[in-house]
Chains A and B, each alone.
Chain A
Amino acid sequence: MIWKSGKAIVSAATLLLLLCAGMAASSAHSLSKAVAQSRPGYEADMAENRSAGNRPNLDDRYDDVSDEDFEEWEEEPKVSDPIEPFNRAMFTFNDRLYFWLIRPASRVYRVAFPESFRISVRNFFSNLLFPNRLVNCVLQGKIKGAGIECTRFTINSTVGLGGLFDPAGTCLHLAEQDEDFGQTFGEYGAREGIFITWPILGPSTLRDSVGLVGDFALDPVTYVHPLEAYVGVSSVEIVNNASLKIGDYEAIKDAAIDPYFSVRDAYIQFRRARISGNSKGKQPL
């Protein structure tokens, strides 16, 4: 009895030793590779290799791609854009609005007010959108997110002085749960519908536009009276946020071959990525 179990233990240990040896060897290989790659001259050598034409099989790299590759790179559904002429017109309108009005105003605003102030203003408006985020977290069944939002609102409104600061984010690392009605509809299976570009509001889809109605309803700023005050407050919000992002839109335009298609695609990808059904990790290779 004792002799049999002893034999079993010896075989198990031997097997384990062989396994360890194999894994240790490959890990050592990876480790030495990692060490080699962190060597200071690594990049210079790589560049030299390439320019010296030392990359073997360079010709093969330019060969046809195969059907297998296509399957791997399988794409997501195209966005439907039947009113493209209208959308392009609105895109041009928004582009002019940005370069002729919003950007100049933001640049002046940026000179007048330091970044920390402008971040506080943004935090303030962001804090006001707590009800919208909370309702949408709950509707989507994201209870943990709802809890985080409640904690954030409580802390930022009190310790954060009415939402000007974000101690919940910076100290407690509780991230804002950016949910809205468009995403909620998406979680419930509503398809995005056609692509629509609204003046001032920018790119959207049919589903997200319906969602915007709900978002406006739960935005306290919507209820500011009289109309002049509403326009004033909204303008401050727009110019303030734009001042923190000057250069982003310009960079997208510069990088694009066709800015309209680029912005449309970026918006669609961005929205699709936010809906759990298409969550990160599920992107095709």
Chain B
Amino acid sequence: MKKAMIAAALVCLLVVPCRVGAGVPLETIRTHVNSVLEVLRDPALQEETARDTKKKRVESIADGMFDFIELAKRTLGREWNSLNRDQREEFVTLYRSILEKAYMDRILAYSDEKVVFDREIMLADDKAEVQSHILTASADIPIFYRVIRIEETWRVYDVIIEGVSLIKNYRTQFREILLTKSPDGLLAILREKVNGS
């Protein structure tokens, strides 16, 4: 009887999967990244003419992967409060366009580098860091995604490449601009950037 009890307890211990590093954030990001890679590697989309199709597909995956409102809030920090509701909405839209414009070319230029997901680290109950790296022929670049759980979905709010955080980098730039310009001035600069180049 005693032995049976001990055996039952042991079986329970062995069968219970580990809760720590459950892998949902990592799996979420891995799924998104793999979807993007699938689009980029699709043999039917290799022509120049298919570039727009590729772009649109990658954009829609990015919409599901990133939380642009969280990104925008954290980039502006305190300054977010000095924008009114309309300005906030416009800022999120412009910020998103700038990021997509800036990084789309690099993403579309991808050929066959290997993307490896290493692990995830829980930063808080609803925040995690998913660590990955890209292996090109000439370099090994660590890329960490900071994700936050909003309404049961994990989304990216920061990307840290070789120790450089995306939102911190933009925060510096926006801060410096807001030292001499009003929120409307900042929005004007962003509009010009999106429409100009």
Task: Note whether A and B form a binding pair.
Answer: yes
What does the 1/0 interface line of A244-276 toward B look like (CB < 8 Å)? 100100010011111001101110011011100
A280 proximity list for chain B (CB < 8 A)? 144, 163
Please state if B173 and A256 are interface contacts (CB–CB under 8 Å): yes
A74 smallest CB distance to B (angstroms): 9
Please state if A262 and B169 are interface contacts (CB–CB under 8 Å): yes
The distance in angstroms between the C-alpha atoms of A261 and B35, with both chains bound, is 34
Interfacial residues of chain B within 107-141, with CB under 8 A of chain A in the complex: 109, 121, 123-124, 127, 137-140
B23 proximity list for chain A (CB < 8 A)? 30, 34
Please state if A255 and B103 are interface contacts (CB–CB under 8 Å): yes
B19 proximity list for chain A (CB < 8 A)? 23, 26-27
Interfacial residues of chain B within 153-170, with CB under 8 A of chain A in the complex: 153, 160, 162-165, 168-170
- Judge if A285 is at the interface, Cβ distance under 8 Å: yes
**CB closest residue in chain A, given B109:** A247
B77 proximity list for chain A (CB < 8 A)? 65, 70, 73, 75
Say which residue of B13, B22, B63, B81 sits within 8 Å of A30 (CB atoms).
B22
**CB closest residue in chain A, given B166:** A255
A262 smallest CB distance to B (angstroms): 6
Please state if B63 and A50 are interface contacts (CB–CB under 8 Å): yes
B157 smallest CB distance to A (angstroms): 9
Please state if A27 and B22 are interface contacts (CB–CB under 8 Å): yes
- Judge if B53 is at the interface, Cβ distance under 8 Å: no
A19 smallest CB distance to B (angstroms): 8
Interfacial residues of chain A within 175-230, with CB under 8 A of chain B in the complex: 175
The distance in angstroms between the C-alpha atoms of A193 and B9, with both chains bound, is 60
- Judge if B172 is at the interface, Cβ distance under 8 Å: yes
The distance in angstroms between the C-alpha atoms of A12 and B10, with both chains bound, is 11
Please state if B31 and A38 are interface contacts (CB–CB under 8 Å): yes
Please state if A34 and B6 are interface contacts (CB–CB under 8 Å): no
- Judge if A42 is at the interface, Cβ distance under 8 Å: yes
- Judge if A20 is at the interface, Cβ distance under 8 Å: yes
Query: Provided the pairs A16-B12, A26-B19, A265-B172 are in contact, do residues A65 and B80 lie with their beta carbons within 8 angstroms?
Result: yes
A262 proximity list for chain B (CB < 8 A)? 169, 172-173
A5 proximity list for chain B (CB < 8 A)? 2
B55 proximity list for chain A (CB < 8 A)? none
- Judge if A111 is at the interface, Cβ distance under 8 Å: no
**CB closest residue in chain A, given B167:** A73
A17 proximity list for chain B (CB < 8 A)? 8, 12
- Judge if B197 is at the interface, Cβ distance under 8 Å: yes
**CB closest residue in chain B, given A261:** B173
- Judge if A37 is at the interface, Cβ distance under 8 Å: yes
Please state if B173 and A55 are interface contacts (CB–CB under 8 Å): no
A251 proximity list for chain B (CB < 8 A)? 102-103, 105-106
Interfacial residues of chain A within 148-190, with CB under 8 A of chain B in the complex: 175
The distance in angstroms between the C-alpha atoms of A122 and B168, with both chains bound, is 31
Say which residue of B9, B31, B140 sits within 8 Å of A37 (CB atoms).
B31
B99 proximity list for chain A (CB < 8 A)? 255
The distance in angstroms between the C-alpha atoms of A42 and B63, with both chains bound, is 12
B23 smallest CB distance to A (angstroms): 7
Residue from the set A55, A70, A283 with the largest chain B CB neighbour count within 10 Å: A283
What does the 1/0 interface line of B43-73 toward A look like (CB < 8 Å)? 0000000000000000011011000010001
Say which residue of B16, B78, B88 sits within 8 Å of A23 (CB atoms).
B16
Please state if A61 and B69 are interface contacts (CB–CB under 8 Å): yes
A256 proximity list for chain B (CB < 8 A)? 173
Please state if B63 and A47 are interface contacts (CB–CB under 8 Å): yes
Query: Provided the pairs A255-B98, A261-B176 are in contact, do residues A62 and B27 lie with their beta carbons within 8 angstroms?
Result: no
Taking A9-B6, A62-B85, A258-B177 as known contacts, 20 extra A-B pairs with beta carbons closer than 8 A to each other, sorted by chain A number, are A5-B2, A10-B5, A20-B13, A23-B17, A23-B19, A24-B17, A34-B28, A43-B61, A43-B64, A61-B69, A62-B89, A65-B77, A118-B138, A257-B173, A266-B164, A270-B162, A273-B164, A280-B144, A281-B121, A285-B124
- 6 interchain pairs, CB-CB under 8 A: A16-B9, A20-B15, A24-B16, A33-B152, A257-B98, A261-B173
* Chain B contacts to A: CB under 8 angstroms: 1-2, 5-6, 8-9, 12-13, 15-17, 19, 22-24, 27-28, 31-32, 35, 60-61, 63-64, 69, 73-74, 77-78, 80-81, 85, 88-89, 98-99, 101-103, 105-106, 109, 121, 123-124, 127, 137-140, 144, 146, 151-153, 160, 162-165, 168-174, 176-177, 189-190, 193, 197
The 7 A-B residue pairs with the shortest CB-CB distance in the complex, in nearest-first order: A273-B163, A255-B102, A46-B64, A265-B172, A20-B12, A269-B164, A34-B27
